[in-house]
A and B are shown apart, each in its own frame.
Chain A
Amino acid sequence: MSSKEEILSRIRQTVGTGYAMPEIILPAGAVEYGDKTAQFAAVSESVGGRAVVAGKGADLNEMIRSLYPAAKTIASNIPEITLATFNPDKTGTPYELDGTELAVVRGEIGVAENGAVWIAQNVKEKALYFIAEYLVILLDAEKIVHNMHEAYRQIRLNDYGFGLFISGPSKTADIEQALVTGAHGAKGVTVILTSAV
């Protein structure tokens, strides 16, 4: 018998009482936010990140430049982001992304309760999300949901087979519980909330 069969047959002998799956329907009074954008921005700040609202017709390139004036190597595969110095999808291997100072990517869903942004991989190498010193995520403000239940109803993975929620910068408190940002991934994350209106 293979290990798989052996394990499964042992489990079959022990499963016992079948417990029903709880019905996941939020009770009345569950947390909801009057202003999801404001809540999202407040939580982003509390987790060491930042969310800024791009006004109607705002120039995103100008905004990003003013947020990161010193950035020299800027990666983005978004056509409108003209201040990008290179298109990461045109590089050969993830190793070539080392040294990226700023990456500008698109997010799909924002979560008001925890400041997380869902990204289904949308660059050739997912390394970009982590190796860039700083990360800018463009997110449609209309795509902010209250909580993770809503978010998980909407998320889909694409053919890359990778996706993630990012909430603020990479961080650690492993030395005496002192919070330090920039453990391995981005040292800073700014979510720019855009509006179609």
Chain B
Amino acid sequence: MSEEHAKNAARFLANKEQEQWHNETLWQVRGKRDRLAMAIPEWETLREWASGIKMHTLSHLDRYLEQFAANAEANGVKVHWAKDGEEHNEIVYGILKERGVKKLVKSKSMLTEECHLNPFLISKGIDVVESDLGERILQLMDEPPSHIVMPAIHLKREEIGALFEEKLHTEKGNSDPAYLTHAARLHLRQEFLTADASMTGANFGVAATGDVVVCTNEGNADMGTSFAPLHIVSMGMEKLVPDYQSLGVFIRLLARSATGQPVTAYTSHYRKPRKGCEMHLVIVDNGRSRTMEMGDHRRTLKCIRCGACMNTCPVYRRSGGYAYTYFIPGPIGINLGMLRSAKTYAGNLSACSLCCSCNNVCPVKIDLADRIYAWRQSLDRLGKADRIKKGMSKGLKFLFSHPALYRLSLRLAPLLRYMPRFLMYNRLNGWGKGREMPEFANESFTEMWKKGKVKTHTNQRSHE
């Protein structure tokens, strides 16, 4: 296994102050989530339902997609289908080009991030404006998000203050979050009012009605879609739920899990285009149907992108989003990266101590840690297994397959205590960084048992 995450994490950890802030801030979000979850006695039932609804929908996805698309079309929405990111981008560009769109204002969409839409459109001369505050900050910095719900969580207010000073001409040295947010409000309002088209993702698609549901706190998706005459929705095909009753389950879970809010400020249902305007919907596969074929990994498709697994993950909190090589970090990102390209993103698999906290916070009950365990089993086949680890595992297997040899090594182990320190603690020993080696006891349990030092009725009998 390559050690990309481990190396990047070590860099993040070198700034102890930043690491602690990141860790504690995200832990507070987990705390808020806990308080709200504990206030709903039926919380675990909701999770069970959400998981069940997603599994049901995925196992009838062809039917639900057809129903959804037919309803959307009947509502006057133009539906497009994209096999992959490239086709998605071409479709979006085609729509924009045909209408002479110069400026596109976007709300947060992990799918367009996945498809690399922004650089593509920019290369075609379209002015693409991200409107979620965090996303806008990162766009101005030319950096990717480091968290899917809190994209700029790795930045300090001073960095954002300095950025706005340069780009938005805010007051020198003023890094008050309220001041900066309101400066961005004014700046982006101009963008909303002058955009030729808007684009949103979709949190949910409701098959029974054709509604596209978008949840935001800022209201940026709503501002975008309220002015420009063209609205394009980019939606992963796994986002479907059958009907309003199932949607209710997810809306109860989503914001509570994501940010510890009872619901987002806006939960918007887009069913028809605005009068005299156009609404287009691009349904995207981009590897999802391949994931459907992958047995238990299909469960990863239940994800509703709440980010709760990141907030609870002790590794993510201490290594930051950029330590991961896939654009989505944390437990879900490790999994989605492997589904995207196992060979490319195997370097993230080490970023999990298998603590399983993610499994328990996941509102749709994806067994994220167990999936990571399962992915590790495929590394050797992919030719991505670490040689040292493979050697160690082989060695252990040999040792453990020979009980007499194992017993001998138990007897000899205490001798390691007499090994010179420089042989034990050096750069080859990852353990020795910050930790002393475990000390072997004078006598192993097996030795004691054999010598009758472990007093039990059975042992006494066998030594009588």
Contacts and interface: CB of A to CB of B under 8 A. Distances in A.
A197 to B, nearest CB: 28
Contacts of A160: 272, 275
Contacts of A157: 209, 211, 269, 271
B109 to A, nearest CB: 16
Interface string A138-167: 000000000111011101010111111111
Interface stretch (B260-268, B346-354, B402-410): B260-268
Interface in A41-55: 43, 46-47
Interface string B131-143: 1111001000000
A69 interface: no
Contact of A24 (B60, B87, B249, B289): B249
Given A22-B52, A113-B262, A184-B218, A175 B181 contact: yes
A161 B152 contact: no
Contacts of B247: 152
B110 interface: no
What does DSSP make chain A's interface, helix, strand, loop or mixed?
loop
Nearest to A120: B269
Interface string B23-67: 001001100000000011110010011001101101111100110
A30 B66 contact: no
B294 to A, nearest CB: 9
Given A127-B227, A180-B181, A185 B83 contact: no
Contacts of A80: none
Interface size class, chain A: 35 or more
B59 to A, nearest CB: 5
A174 B222 contact: no
Interface in B200-226: 209, 211, 217-220, 222-223, 226
A126 B39 CA distance: 34
Given A22-B49, A184-B131, A147 B218 contact: no
Contacts of A8: 62, 65-66
A14 interface: yes
B59 A177 contact: no
B70 to A, nearest CB: 11
A162 to B, nearest CB: 6
A24 B268 CA distance: 23
Contacts of B69: 4
Contact of A174 (B58, B81, B83, B151): B151
Interface string B242-266: 1011111101100000010111111
Interface of A: 2-4, 6-8, 10-22, 24, 26-27, 29-31, 43, 46-47, 94-95, 98, 111, 113-116, 125-127, 129-131, 147-149, 151-153, 155, 157, 159-178, 180, 182-186
Given A148-B248, A183-B219, 19 more contacts: A8-B66, A10-B285, A20-B56, A21-B52, A21-B242, A22-B48, A113-B262, A148-B252, A160-B272, A160-B275, A170-B219, A170-B265, A173-B150, A175-B157, A175-B180, A183-B181, A184-B220, A184-B222, A185-B222
16 contacts: A2-B81, A6-B83, A18-B59, A24-B249, A26-B45, A46-B262, A94-B227, A115-B263, A127-B227, A130-B223, A161-B272, A164-B222, A165-B266, A172-B181, A174-B151, A182-B182
